[in-house]
């Protein structure tokens, strides 16, 4: 099982080291402090806004009619991290279709199925609980996958790679 408490600081440390040690290898100053700050803020805002709207935690603005699943908070954290990473590497000519579909699918997967008025109008309450609720984790994973595709696409457009010597620990 992935331990996010240990992985996130390690990932941030690696990104910071890559940005400072290998700045000359990264075109467009990809990992500048501004881009890292932007990515962090987008991830944080995604976490707060999506978690509040989907009522993953109790709040006065939205009430959830079904209990949250054990997987919804970790999924929200992953979606927020992916959104932050995408925001940090994004440029104007970006993979917006993949990131938009990924964000929408992740939101629909995490959100309360009976609270979503659009889904309720399309399917009705009984069909939502019977057919959509069991596949919500899969919808969320598909959304995360689309976010990863968008990040990978942006990364590849810039022909970026972390130097292999750095990954091997030789630097």
Average pLDDT of 125-132?
85
Question: Residue 103: which of 160, 157, 54 has the closest Cα?
Answer: 54
Contact 26, 19 (CB under 8 A): yes
Question: Residue 30: which of 113, 98, 105, 87 has the closest Cα?
Answer: 87
Distance from C-alpha of 145 to C-alpha of 143, rounded to nearest angstrom: 5
Sequence-ordered list of residues with C-beta below 8 angstroms from that of 115, at least 6 positions apart, any chain? 55, 62, 63, 64, 65, 66
The confidence band for 160, taking pLDDT boundaries of 50, 70 and 90, is low
Q: What is the mean pLDDT of the chain?
A: 76
What ranges do the domains of the chain cover? 29-159
Q: Which position has the higher pLDDT, 158 or 56?
A: 56
Give pLDDT tens digits for 136-155. 899 999 999 988 888 888 87
Distance from C-alpha of 89 to C-alpha of 82, rounded to nearest angstrom: 11
Residue 15, pLDDT above cutoff 70: no
Q: At 45, is the secondary structure helix, strand, or coil?
A: helix
Question: Residue 81: which of 6, 34, 144, 19 has the closest Cα?
Answer: 144
C-alpha dist (Å) from residue 137 to 23, 81, 92: 39, 18, 31
Distance from C-alpha of 75 to C-alpha of 112, rounded to nearest angstrom: 14
Orientation of helix 96-110 relative to helix 72-89, angle to 10°: 160
């Amino acid at each position: 099982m992935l331990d996010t408490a240990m992985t996130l600081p390690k990932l941030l440390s690696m990104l910071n080291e890559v940005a400072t040690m290998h700045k000359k290898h990264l075109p467009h100053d990809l990992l500048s402090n501004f881009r890292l700050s932007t990515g962090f803020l987008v991830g944080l805002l995604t976490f707060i806004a999506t978690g509040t709207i989907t009522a993953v935690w109790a709040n006065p603005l939205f009430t959830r009619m079904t209990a949250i699943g054990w997987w919804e908070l970790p999924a929200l954290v992953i979606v927020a991290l992916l959104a932050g990473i995408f925001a940090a590497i994004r440029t104007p000519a970006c993979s917006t279709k993949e990131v938009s579909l990924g964000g929408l699918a992740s939101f629909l997967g995490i959100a309360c199925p009976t609270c979503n008025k659009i889904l309720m109008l399309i399917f009705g309450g009984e069909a939502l609980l019977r057919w959509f609720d069991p596949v919500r984790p899969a919808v969320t994973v598909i959304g995360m996958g689309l976010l990863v595709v968008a990040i990978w696409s942006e990364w590849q457009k810039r022909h970026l790679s972390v130097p292999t010597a750095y990954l091997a620990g030789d630097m």
